[in-house]
Structure formats: structure tokens, C-alpha cells
């Protein structure tokens, strides 16, 4: 229980000796960025999962997409998108949303192979997502399944960034206003193909940079101001 109240950095140090050799231990070997450093000096990994459902205890990751943000720029050459094998029939409602069928999923990689690719990209960076509950839960469950441990994670969440901004300005939050698609439109960003893990990750990255620019007002934004 005490570990829950520790900072991610203290959790990282406490878990480092327990982790088996490999990608998870390498991830834990890199310290988290300091909250006092500027956003423009911080590297973010914009991440999105498409899943069979919302409950990480009983559902599975179908696909993962990520892209790097460095010096307030989306670095598209550092983008990846992968399908993941699942060992159960994919629900019809999930297929309708994500267009990932049982046949396509069978062509995907094993979960441990996905983590071998993803964890090195996460090391020393802040994870950037839209609605952190999904990625936090599924990433933690995946690591526990493969490595027996749930590593500490440092998140920035574009939904939470916007919610805090609106609350500070005492603005009313309308139903669905904080959805990624609607916030992108609010910030004048172009339409994109939703429910693709990579495109959602890129869409989240672009939204975040627009939010930071609005927050800055010509002044540097500290990392602590955008962390979830």
C-alpha cells in the first residue's frame, strides 16, 4: 500500500532490483524526467492502444501505436504501429469500431514482443495519452502478465490538461467536449481517421503541442504543469 503513495521515481528505484533482466529492467534503469524541467526540454512518447474492451483485467490489446515528441516537434520517423495477437474471438462491437478482425489479429505479434519494442521507447520519457485510464491499466496488466511486475509510469494526459484549463477558467464542460476528436476541432487541427492506434497517437501529440502553445503565452511551461 505504501508503494502507491511513492513518487514514480521512488517506485522505479524500489522495483529496479526485482525486475528480471531484459526490456523491463532496462526501462527501470532510466530515471524519469524532473517535474521542474521545461516541456520543450522533455521527450514524450505519444501512445495509443486499441483494445477488445475497457476492462484491462478481462480484455486484450489489439494494436498499439506511438510517436516521439522531441523539442516540441512530432518526430514522424520515430513512429510505430503494431497489431497484437489475441487468444480469444474479437467481439463484434470491437470489430465495428477498430476494423481489426480475428484474421488480422492472428497476423499480429505476441504481447511480449510488443513490450520488447515499446519499453525501450518509453525509457526516460513521459507517456502522452488521451484519457490515461486505458493505457495505464492495459500497459500495467501487460507488464504484469509478461514480467510479473507493474512498473511505475509517468503520464501526461491531453484530456486532463484541457479539463484543468477549463476549470481554472471556470468554463462549463459540455458532454463529449473533452473527446480527442472534438478537442482537435476546438484547437483548429485537421480531421483524421479515429480508432487507428497510430493516428490517435499522432492526433494526441498534435493536440498536446497546441495545448502547450496556448498555455505558454510566451513563457516556458514546466513539466509538472502537464503531468497527470
List residues bridging with 38 in a β-sheet.
Answer: 222
Across residues 131-143, what is the average pLDDT?
A: 98
CB 204 within 8 A of CB 66: no
Under DSSP, the state recorded for 226 is T
Options 3.90.380.10, 3.30.420.10, 1.10.10.10, 1.10.1040.10; which CATH number does 32-225 get?
A: 3.30.420.10
**Separation of alpha carbons 178 and 153, rounded Å:** 23
Grid cell listed for 84: 497484437
Local confidence band at 2 (pLDDT 50, 70, 90 cut-offs)? very low
* Run of H or E residues at 129: strand 126-129
DSSP of 151-217: ----EEEHHHHHHHHHHHTT----TTTTSHHHHHHHTTPPP--TT-HHHHHHHHHHHHHHHHHHHHT
Name the pTM for this structure: 0.95
Domain ranges of the chain: 32-225
pLDDT digits (tens, 9 = 90+) for 93-104: 888 888 888 888
Amino acid at each position: 500500500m505504501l508503494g502507491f503513495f511513492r513518487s514514480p521515481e521512488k517506485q522505479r528505484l524500489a522495483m529496479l532490483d526485482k525486475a528480471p533482466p531484459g526490456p523491463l529492467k532496462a526501462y527501470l534503469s532510466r530515471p524519469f524526467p524532473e517535474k521542474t524541467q521545461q516541456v520543450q526540454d522533455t521527450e514524450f512518447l505519444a501512445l495509443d492502444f486499441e483494445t477488445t474492451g475497457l476492462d484491462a483485467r478481462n480484455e486484450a490489446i489489439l494494436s498499439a501505436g506511438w510517436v516521439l515528441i522531441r523539442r516540441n516537434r512530432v518526430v514522424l520517423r520515430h513512429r510505430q504501429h503494431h497489431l497484437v495477437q489475441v487468444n480469444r474471438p474479437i467481439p463484434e462491437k470491437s470489430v465495428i469500431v477498430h476494423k481489426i478482425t480475428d484474421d488480422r489479429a492472428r497476423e499480429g505479434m505476441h504481447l511480449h514482443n510488443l513490450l520488447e519494442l515499446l519499453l525501450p521507447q518509453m525509457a526516460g520519457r513521459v507517456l502522452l495519452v488521451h484519457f490515461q485510464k486505458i493505457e495505464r491499466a492495459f500497459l500495467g496488466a501487460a507488464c504484469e502478465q509478461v514480467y510479473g511486475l507493474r512498473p511505475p509510469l509517468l503520464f501526461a494526459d491531453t484530456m486532463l490538461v484541457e479539463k484543468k484549463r477549463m476549470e481554472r477558467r471556470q468554463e462549463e464542460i459540455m458532454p463529449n467536449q473533452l473527446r480527442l476528436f472534438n478537442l482537435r476541432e476546438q484547437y483548429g487541427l485537421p480531421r483524421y481517421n479515429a480508432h487507428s492506434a497510430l493516428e490517435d497517437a499522432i492526433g494526441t501529440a498534435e493536440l498536446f503541442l497546441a495545448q502547450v502553445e496556448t498555455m505558454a503565452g510566451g513563457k516556458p511551461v514546466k513539466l509538472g504543469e502537464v503531468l497527470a
